[in-house]
Amino acid sequence: MNLTVIGTGYVGLVTGACFAEMGNDVTCVDTDAAKVARLAAGEIPIHEPGLESIVAANLKAGRLRFTTTLPEAMAASTIYFIAVGTPPGENGAADLQYVLAVARAIGRNLREYSVIVDKSTVPVGTADRVTAVIQEELAARGAAIPFDVVSNPEFLKEGAAVEDFMRPDRIIVGSESERARAVLRELYAPFTHSHERTLFMGTREAEMTKYTANAMLATRISFMNEIANLCDRLGVDVESVRQGIGADSRIGYAFIYPGCGYGGSCFPKDVTALIRTAEDNGFDPTVLRAVSARNDSQKQLLAEKIRARFGTKLAGKTFAVWGLAFKPGTDDLREAPSAVLLQALIAAGARVQAHDPVAMAAARRELPADWFDGQRLTLVDDPYAALAGAEALILVTEWKPYRHPDFARIKQLLKQPVIFDGRNQYDPAQLKHLGFEYHGVGRRS
């Protein structure tokens, strides 16, 4: 099948590459000419395991192309995926200007029956707005061309997006049109060969499903973080509690790991957007507000623990930070807990020496330039180099290379044998035996 994917960000690029991998002819469209040129040369702007090889293979095979010209791409296909950004507006609602701009461009160039697929995460009612915009453009042309708008939200985890796309838990297709459903059923057939994974529903239900899924996962994280903070005050080890509740088949172990807060491009934005949707419809989203508030507080937790241990004035002190990305497997720093920690430490006068296996370049681009100019933040290529002369090690992102480090070497390099474990990766009893002072999240140390 011939497809057009508009937007080559995280969702669009993975979507286009994975559809091409299954034998489809895919043209990806983006307005950023420099980015398109890099992609056409096989250069991937994001870190996502497995993506670079898939893009390279399908570029070579001629099944994947990149262009800045939407009419050119539309001439060869009748299925159009909208995968542009929906950043939060000033009031927290999803900003649909890019989605609607693409819809207008599609309306101006539509030639025959087509299926327009909302792949971006969008509020309930967006498919109706996209439909209205396309109809406006067709009316202005005096054209009566049939089309359908489908909601087909993505459920991709950064760091495992290719695997998630190729082997999905489920495929949500929101459409009231049997004709459009048939098109999407055929398109996704290779992904559901072993057993049926496609769930058909209305467009509004599909849009709501995406937001609800992310809000549910964020709720589990914030709930467990709240329990961990209470465990801190009660002298209870939350790890035992986590194992105890996770063994309950009704609960399970997914997303109940306490830590220093969630980040990324999805959970914070989507919870906030759902809160705004509720408010706009006269409903008070009490639970969602609590989820968001707990996460905001949780991102301050490591800084609070450091101030409690070293005092509020940290001038003359250096701290080592392991992990900058919001989670392992990605170089994404959006809403990362590390940024909140760095801001607090630097504001208190501290110097920071930080390491991340893949997010160093992103950190140099996205963190404030004056942090580097004033040598308040130094990025080092070796995790142990970050420890030299530091008062303590602070683990923020649970990358695999950090999970079983050389503790004897850590102790030798630090000024004091102090570890703040923002992801509960280490065993407090083991570290105590090794002579460390340990501070976890709800861990009895």
CB 4 within 8 A of CB 12: no
**Closest listed residue to residue 84, CA positions, set 57, 48, 43, 120:** 120
CB 296 within 8 A of CB 262: no
CB 21 within 8 A of CB 52: no
What gap in Å lies between CA 289 and CA 284, rounded to an integer? 9
What gap in Å lies between CA 10 and CA 6, rounded to an integer? 12
Strand partners, 67: 29
- 10 Å CB burial of residue 267 (0-12, 13-18, 19+) is buried
- Of 18, 231, 260, 266, the active-site residue reads 266
CB 188 within 8 A of CB 244: no
Cα pseudo-dihedral 183, 185, 188, 192, rounded to 10: -170
What gap in Å lies between CA 302 and CA 440, rounded to an integer? 9
- 10 Å CB burial of residue 443 (0-12, 13-18, 19+) is buried
What gap in Å lies between CA 33 and CA 309, rounded to an integer? 50
Could you confirm whether 266 is annotated as catalytic?
yes
Which one-letter amino acid corresponds to residue 55? V
- 10 Å CB burial of residue 220 (0-12, 13-18, 19+) is middle
Biggest CA–CA distance in the chain, Å, is 79
Q: Return the exposure string of 80-119: e unless at least 16 CB atoms fall within 10 Å of the residue's CB, then b.
A: bbbbbbbeeeeebbbebebbbebbebbbbbbeeebbbbbb
Q: Which two tokens stand for residue 427?
A: 């065993």
Active site residues: 266
